[in-house]
Amino acid sequence: MFSLTNKTALITGGASGIGLAITETFARAGALVHILELNTDQARQAAARLTAEGCKVYAHAVDVSEQGQVREVVNAIAARDGIQILVNNAGIAHVGTAESTTEADFDQVVKVNIKGVYNCLHATIPHLKAGGGGVILNMASVAATLGLPDRFAYSMSKGAVLTMTLSVAKDYLKANIRCNCISPARVHTPFVDGFLAKNYPGQEPEMFAKLSATQPIGRMAKPAEIAALALYLCSDEAGFVTGCDYPIDGGFTRLNN
């Protein structure tokens, strides 16, 4: 079950955190994986490590906010390998309220988290249609539906990802393209460790425990747990699933009373 053999998957931001876990999981499930990543060194290292395991993984230097770059790379991949799966994972975080968020920061969040997803959809959907269909998976967040405190721009951007997911699912249903999104709560990635080191030096263990406790299950998610859900949603076993948002949040959405 859940084999991705003979499928080509594009994964944006696929060289770190959740994206890396998805890259590893998809590659080991048999997919030919193309990492679209701003951090070229990380992408090449991940591709080399997985290639040494016998997987097929390629790295591409791409800024998802630049439509020309995205189009050029996607077209080249489609011409060589075809495309069956797109995972829109690349994104940036931001801390701030509507009052404290600067215009520059707001524009950057929109550019990466919203326009970046649009750029990849815009470039990839024609190839999915030409190939008879495929799967799109977007990375949203519990912030899309709850609006997290002090995460104004980030929550806004993930709300846009959620509604783009629903729109694409409806528009391309007859083209045999499924589109869903995943909404994680806190996930223990290198970003979290870096955030704590920068903002709470010397208090990292204490603050990590505090953040972990905000999930009713009592811990943060592991990237591999998010990747396992992504694998299911992009596999043929999920052929009846489209237009859905999947919270994977340790009870954060429903049980955090």
Which residues are marked as active site?
154
Assigned token pair, 119: 């750029």
CB 138 within 8 A of CB 106: no
Residue 176 φ/ψ region, left for φ over 0, alpha for ψ in the -120 to 50 degree band, beta for the rest: left
Assigned token pair, 183: 């909404």
CA distance 47 to 11: 12
Task: Report the 10 Å Cβ neighbour count for 76.
Answer: 12
Task: Report the 10 Å Cβ neighbour count for 149.
Answer: 10
Question: End-to-end alpha-carbon separation of the chain, Å?
Answer: 37
The secondary structure of 164-205 as a DSSP string is: HHHHHHHHTGGGTEEEEEEEE--B--HHHHHHHHHHSTT-HH
CA-closest candidate to residue 37, choices 76, 81, 5, 69? 69
CA distance 117 to 160: 10
Assigned token pair, 84: 């069956």
CB 112 within 8 A of CB 67: no
CA distance 159 to 140: 7
